Amino acid sequence: MDKLVDWLLKEEIEGLMEKSRDKLCFSDEIYKHDRADEEELEKRYNALVLYKNERMLINDYMACRRTVDNRCAELSYLAGVRDTVKALYSRGLIKEAENR
């Protein structure tokens, strides 16, 4: 069972995930509002008078936060897919592929 799930996650799901996520995000009002706020705050941040080392530290922090958040979102999506496949399998609604 785990081999099937791993195969699905690696070979089939990752490409679909991005398309599905983008479609949902760009149609979600809260997401669009937060993105607009983010753009405004970025303009205000760029207008701040900071030393180069201060700006680099803040930029590194923001990039790290973004990377962590993105990775957590990807893993959450994949965990949901894994849980769904396992639930369907345990209820006999899908069968494990023999050659996978």
**Structure confidence by residue, pLDDT tens digits, 15-44:** 778 888 889 999 999 999 999 999 999 999
Quote the tokens at residue 38. 């983010």
pLDDT (mean) for 73-87: 86
Domain residue ranges of the chain, discontinuous segments joined by +: 2-90
What values do phi and psi take at 68, rounded to 5?
-65, -45
- What is the per-residue pLDDT for 4? 67
* Cα dihedral sign, 21-27-31-32: positive
Q: Which residues of 20-49 are buried (b: 16+ CB within 10 A; e: fewer)?
A: eeeeeeeeeeeeeeeeeeeeeeeeeeeeee
Res 99: pLDDT: 53
